[in-house]
Amino acid sequence: MNKDYITEPISIIIVDDHMLFRQSLATMLANIPEIEVVGTTGDGRESLRLLDRLKPTVIILDISMPGLGGLDLAPRIRETGLPTEILMLSMHDNSNYVYRAFKAGCRGYVLKSDSAEELQRAIRAVARKETYLSPGIASDFIDHLLAKAETGDSPTSLLTPREQEICHLVAQGRTTDQLATDLCISPKTVRVHVANVMKKLSCQSRTELALRLQEMENF
């Protein structure tokens, strides 16, 4: 079975104040068999009402909206206790926005300039409760992080070259099986490497690892 897909439909609410973009996105996602758009809105407060009524698998938020923007909405969504995962879809590639989004409770962050295929991968990943970060952003902040590691100014200086490579791929949202394929090693070996990285960086989960990498990038 291809683990890029999940067996149950992924229900989605889209929250973006630009009507044309919101409608275009809903139309595009409606053509994907395992994805079902159950609601759209351009109003943050309305999104909370829709969330309570529809209880979607994923809610897609824009950062910049009048009133309640994505960074304000994310912690409120987490406070509801619902299992809905939050995917931030933004025009902002600034690492500070990315850090704040994950800190607020988002599971993934993608850019409006990313491809439709990239967005679909992000939706599927966060629906599986996996952290997902736009590859363009991931490359920038991981390159900066590893540059610090070379001078010994970062906690990642404790990592081996293979573990640093693992960090690159984890930040791109790669699953264990995908990491194994990319690195030509077994999934068991991948899990050992990831466990070692999380231990060295004092992380309990991949989500925490992604957040930790962001914190070090902003250090």
Quick one: 75 and 110 in the same domain? yes
Residue-level pLDDT at 214: 59
Q: Are residues 123 and 180 in the same domain?
A: no
Residue 3 lies in a domain: no
For residues 183 and 165, is the Cβ–Cβ distance under 8 A?
Answer: yes
At residue 129, the 3 state secondary structure works out as: coil
> Same domain, yes or no, for 101 and 142?
no
The DSSP bridge partners found for residue 87 are 60, 108
- DSSP H/E element including 144: helix 135-150
Looking at the structure of the chain, the number of domains it has is 2
What is the CB neighbour count within 10 angstroms for residue 16? 25
- Are 76 and 142 in a shared domain? no
Q: How many CA atoms lie within 13 A of 217 on its CB side?
A: 26
β-strand partners of 10: 35
Cα atoms found within 13 Å of the Cα of residue 84, Cβ hemisphere only: 30
End of a domain among 117, 133, 149?
A: 133
Q: Could you tell me if residue 1 is inside a domain? A: no
Residues 99 and 129 in one domain: yes
pTM of the shown model? 0.67
Residue 78, domain extent: 10-133
Question: CATH number of the domain that 38 lies in?
Answer: 3.40.50.2300
- Give pLDDT tens digits along the chain (219 positions): 344 445 578 999 999 999 999 999 999 999 998 999 999 999 988 999 999 999 999 999 998 887 788 988 999 999 999 999 999 999 888 777 887 888 888 999 999 999 999 999 999 999 999 888 887 776 665 655 555 555 555 566 677 778 877 877 776 667 888 888 888 888 899 888 888 888 877 777 776 776 666 565 543
β-sheet bridge partners, residue 108: 87, 132
